[in-house]
Amino acid sequence: MTGAGTHVFWCETLLVDGEPTPGVRVEVGADGRIARLTPGCAPRPRDVRLGTVLPGMANAHSHAFHRALRGCTHADGGDFWQWREAMYLAAGRLDPDRYYALARAVFAEMLVSGWTAVGEFHYVHHRPDGSRYPREHAMELALAAAARDVGIRLVLLDTLYLAGGIGRPLAPEQRAFDDGSAAGWLERWRSLNETLGADPDARVSLGAAIHSVRAVPTAAMREVLAGLPSAVPLHIHLSEQPQENADCLAEYGLTPTGVLADLDALSPRLSVVHATHLTDADIELIGRTGTTVIMCPTTEADLGDGIGPARRLADAGARIALGSDQNAVVDPLLEMRGLEAGERLASGERGRFDPAALLAAASTSGYACLGLGDNRLRPGGLCDLVEVSMDSVRTIGSAPAQLPLSATASDVVRVIVHGVIVADSGRLVSAGGAAADRLPEALLRHALATLDNIPPIHDGTSGDPA
């Protein structure tokens, strides 16, 4: 059923651009890409038969290590700033081995849940005191190894992080994030790019990120924009908290979006994350430039961030993608539903994003903003697919097109990446090791056992958004 010999899948129903298409035969080339799609046909004897199938979905914004906080911080009260202190504690307990174990477990959970690709917004580069590991790029290579071992596509969004707030030095707990300068970060980024090497299969690739307008001075952002190759996807946190906007206005007389516009950074190449607290002018700027907005509904709800203006951004011309951010929830279907639920709660209207648009946010837009093509299930595209059960207590009676509004990750059956089944019924298929090691929950138990418990945080100080 799996492995290099699997080259043809027959889908009872395949959602192509959100439309259910019956009886689709998907032929896969040796390069892991779709060679031919034949709708309206019967299966052949050697075809792998699938039921209802969605395009693979890209988690466009993840911080894998935040998973260590799940179930430990939700009852603490406070707001984002208090939660952030617990996040720093978790970051301070990482080293390459621990990060590999944790990332492998989190990526496994993503894969069995239907995320076939992930953009890992990575800034824990060095030891907690800021000193370098003896092995160059040890933390980055740990993440790459974790993704390869699991079978998920990884776009490593290596992140520049220089300040503890506008005009403020980094705090001690932020020293692991620091490369000293934009020039120092660019030098490390180029070295990492050479170390990872070209990957024609797009299994592991290198992107880039500027942490935020708060954490990177404008001169450093300008240096990064000039120094990065134009084809490299670039991401940045934007206006997640009102405090970021207030600090930016006080320093620059501009909103964070205005600062990016002043730098000519807004473009289809850029993805802004959260974009929760925007002015009308911000929305117009982001939409007019075709910038992607990555929303993370489960995290934005958990941290009390607010509900971003997704519908207005899309109407202005922005592309909407989705991410799991802190990984308190790992479920692409719930992120889709959260996007629409937030719009309904804010507007009092249903159907702000139809199911096809929700699926496009999780698949087409997510892949595109990570530099992986558009994943629209066309010949030449990557063969990344997700089979969803139509027979669960959640999905019985659902129209296939409305699965984004009824199914959850528990309904994911088989997951295909690069034309190969990599997960089946909650278990990894392609992972090495004993059968028990193919269960994400076993990997998570092992990973969390290597980290000290993260105590609840009741007091914190303001600083740079995570």
Q: Among all residues, which ones are annotated catalytic? A: 274, 325
Please answer whether residues 223 and 255 qualify as being in contact, where contact means their C-beta atoms are separated by less than 8 angstroms. no
Rounded Cα gap, residues 61 and 422, in angstroms: 22
Please answer whether residues 120 and 143 qualify as being in contact, where contact means their C-beta atoms are separated by less than 8 angstroms. yes
Please answer whether residues 436 and 60 qualify as being in contact, where contact means their C-beta atoms are separated by less than 8 angstroms. no
Please answer whether residues 187 and 209 qualify as being in contact, where contact means their C-beta atoms are separated by less than 8 angstroms. no
The owner of tokens 């439309």 is 19
- Sheet strand arrangement including 115-122: 57-62, 115-122, 153-160, 204-210, 234-238, 270-274, 292-295, 319-322
Strands 427-428 and 420-424 turn out to be antiparallel
Q: Where do the DSSP E strands lie in 282-329?
A: 292-295, 319-322
Ramachandran area for residue 21 (φ above 0: left; ψ -120 to 50: alpha; else beta): beta
Rounded Cα gap, residues 230 and 268, in angstroms: 11
Backbone phi, psi, residue 17, to 5°: 55, 35
Please answer whether residues 4 and 422 qualify as being in contact, where contact means their C-beta atoms are separated by less than 8 angstroms. no
